Amino acid sequence: MFLTILSGLAHSADLAKPNFVIIYIDDLGYADIGPFGATKQKTPNLDRMAREGMKLTSFYAAPVCSVSRAQLLTGCYGARISVPAVFFPGNANGLNPAERTIAEHLKDKGYATACVGKWHLGDQPEFLPTKQGFDRYFGIPYSNDMQRKAVGGTEKVSPLLRDDKVAEFLTDEQQSRIVERYTEEATRFLRDSQDQPFFLYLPHSAVHTPIWPGEAFRGKSSNGRFGDWVEEVDWSVGKILDTLRDLKLDEKTLVIFTSDNGPWLVKGSDGGSALPLRGGKGSTWEGGVRVPTIARWPGKIKAGSVCDSVAGTIDMLPTFVELAGGAVSSKNIAETIIDGRDISKLLLGQSTQSPREAHYYFSGYNLQAVRQGPWKLAIATQPETMGKGVESDAGKNPRLYNLDEEIHEQTNLADKHPEMVAKLLSLAEKMDAEIGGKNPSSRRPAGEVANPKTLYPMADSAPNGNALKSNTATKSVSLADLSIGAATQSDRVPQVGGQPFTVSCKVETDQRDIILIAHGGLSAGYALHLRDGRVVFVVRYGNGDNLAEIVSPTPILGNTKITASLAADHVLTLSVNDKVVAQKKGVAFVPRQPAEDFCLGHDNEKPVAIYSAKEPFKGQIKELKITSP
């Protein structure tokens, strides 16, 4: 009898706990949905969600996806938990299992948990969702543009996982059903879990490039295939909301819709819009990190409300845990510190004050800006967006902006408000000492495995930089035959991963800030570019600040021969017209053959370096060679 009563009380307590759903879109810009100003693509379900809930107009993520996802799930800035940049297939690092995720906290409170969609926090078995608090997982474990050929295969594919096993391989064309399949899996979980509290994390692969809207949505919008895919995402949101209503769980479920970062502007018509914000994905301008966000909880969140208080993905963990009846304190968080705060009073209309003292804008481990109230202080040079350089007004630091008066960050008010500059600088210096730079006092380690492997044997390259054997031959390209603006697959150019190499070419241009050669991305690669006319050779051997750079002491003039090398002892050497002009001891080789395209005169994907280039290359690049022992 007593046990029966206890069991009944426990069941009643479970019934009182709210459910949680996070719908997380990839590369969706601030102005890409109707409630935030989109007109070329229609989003009736998100329009309805905003009418029935709350728009959060100062809600922040991170500049790139892995960092953003780590922040959401742990309540910590990426710099605190050693997630500074994007994880690639076969990386040794991932989200440390010692960190306690939202799923782990809620699982301890009796919640069913599921992750459906893009994970991107490490693809080693130790880092996958089922080892991080989720009962089940279904999805592509990283970005949908990280396709590789499997050994013996003829097409690049993305792995689709069921829990921790590869269930099938998807070609690009087959990605056109990924929103539909994620939605089917997510609604199945909702139905399966309706009799207990649940947490559904639905991080869509859309609308990251390559853009693959489902057949039923192609040509439906007035914004090309990008708009078509946004409309399919809106359809998916409608399916989630309809399922909750059909299960009579509407008033018991807090649904959050948001994005992982701003739009990938250099993708043109395949990218989105952050207007009226400045910048895009990869930057710490508002357009790179402020994302369109809607919260809906009928009967709890006031319909049609708007909140402009500062909040963000790092606040989801403490908010959900508190609403579930738990407590977030130094006693139950790994290594004692999280950065997020409970924003339930904002959501429930009980307060208009952000519970955080400030918001910090990190790019990798580099703290670039801090916001308190309407005031944002930029303390570092900020590129406009991933793949683009720095505008002339972004070179002066510090820069102070009033975001209430000028949301697009144009007018530097630092000279007029020195007291606010001093106040925000003090906050920034404290946080930078804690988790920024090279010698932080409170940074926790990333997860790391000794012998990383990819989820399937890849034909292009192995994580250690050695080429894997393939049953199909890859035809190499003659570098001398490439034209300016060309991009060619990585496996068609000489191997540089894990070994010394030399790049040489002859350059003739009148431009002073331009990309010459780029091969790689955010974790591995190399580049040659001009900065104020000086030659810059960059070798990237890891995420974030893990790169080495040497610069010629004087600008080049006229037809110039450039030779840049990374030696066996990791020394970087730069020669101009066969004369050594700079040398520097590096740290490591490029860890693997870069997965991204080799680009001549531009960088078409995730940038290897921070370029000052503002326009396409004009001139000649001749006699290009890449050699290795």
pLDDT given at position 1: 52
Q: Is the pLDDT of residue 330 over 50?
A: no
Last residue of a domain, one of 334, 354, 374: 354
User: What three-state secondary structure class fits 605?
Assistant: coil
Residue 250, pLDDT above cutoff 80: yes
Asked if residue 370 is part of any domain, the answer here is no
Residues 92-137: pLDDT tens digits?
899 999 999 999 999 999 999 999 999 999 999 999 999 999 999 9
In a domain, 621, yes or no: yes
Tell me, what CATH number does 553's domain have? Answer: 2.60.120.200
CB 621 within 8 A of CB 514: no
Q: Indicate the SS3 state at residue 69.
A: helix
Domain boundary among 285, 319, 354: 354
For all residues of the chain together, what is the average pLDDT?
A: 90
CA atoms within 13 A on the CB side of 608: 31
Task: Give the confidence band of 336 by pLDDT, cuts at 50, 70, 90.
Answer: low
Pick 422 or 521 by higher pLDDT. 422
State residue 524's pLDDT score: 87
Asked whether the predicted pLDDT for residue 275 surpasses 90, the reply is yes
- Rounded CA-CA distance 451/455 in Å is 13
Domain end (from 354, 376, 396): 354
**Mean of pLDDT values over 401-406:** 97
Of 335, 338, 319, 316, nearest to 327 by C-alpha is 319
The per-residue pLDDT for 333 is 44
> Are 486 and 345 part of one and the same domain?
no
Q: Is residue 9 a part of any domain in this protein?
A: no
Q: Which has the minimum average pLDDT: 58-72, 97-111, 143-157, 498-512?
A: 143-157
Interior angle at CA 612, CA 606 and CA 615, nearest 5: 85
Is 398 a member of any domain?
A: no
**Catalytic, out of 76, 115, 120, 359:** 120
Position 15 in a domain:
no
d(CA 262, CA 286): 8
In this structure, the answer to whether residues 210 and 63 fall within a common structural domain is yes
Full DSSP string of 234-288? HHHHHHHHHHHHHTT-GGGEEEEEEESS---GGGGGGS---TTSS--TTSSSHHH
In a domain, 502, yes or no: yes
Structurally, the chain folds into a number of domains equal to 2
Res 408 pLDDT > 60:
yes
Q: What is the mean pLDDT of residues 568-593?
A: 90
**Cβ-based neighbours of 181, under 8 Å, separated by 6 or more:** 138
Of the candidates 481, 484, 485, the one whose C-alpha atom is nearest the C-alpha of residue 493 is 481
Q: Which DSSP string corresponds to 199-217?
A: EEEEE--TTSSSP---GGG
Domain of residue 147: give its range: 20-354
**What would the pLDDT profile of 355-368 be if each residue is shown by its tens digit?**
999 999 999 899 99
Cis? peptide before 591, omega within 30° of 0: no
Strand ranges (E), 509-617: 514-520, 525-531, 534-540, 547-551, 560-566, 571-576, 579-585, 598-600
pLDDT tier at 592 (50, 70, 90 boundaries)? confident
Residue 194 tokens, joined: 């309706």
> Which 3 state secondary structure label does DSSP give 367?
strand
Work out the average pLDDT over 228-242. 98
Q: Does residue 383 lie within any of the structural domains?
A: no
Quick one: pLDDT at residue 384? 86
pLDDT over 70, % of the chain: 93
The two beta strands, 579-585 and 598-600, are: unpaired
| pLDDT at residue number 329 | 58
Tens digit of each residue's pLDDT (9 = 90 or more) over 450-491: 989 999 888 754 433 333 333 333 344 578 788 888 888 777
Tell me whether residue 529 is one of the annotated catalytic residues: no
pLDDT in tens, 483-525: 888 888 777 788 888 889 999 999 999 999 999 999 988 778 9
Residue 505 annotated as catalytic: no
Domain assignment present for 132 = yes
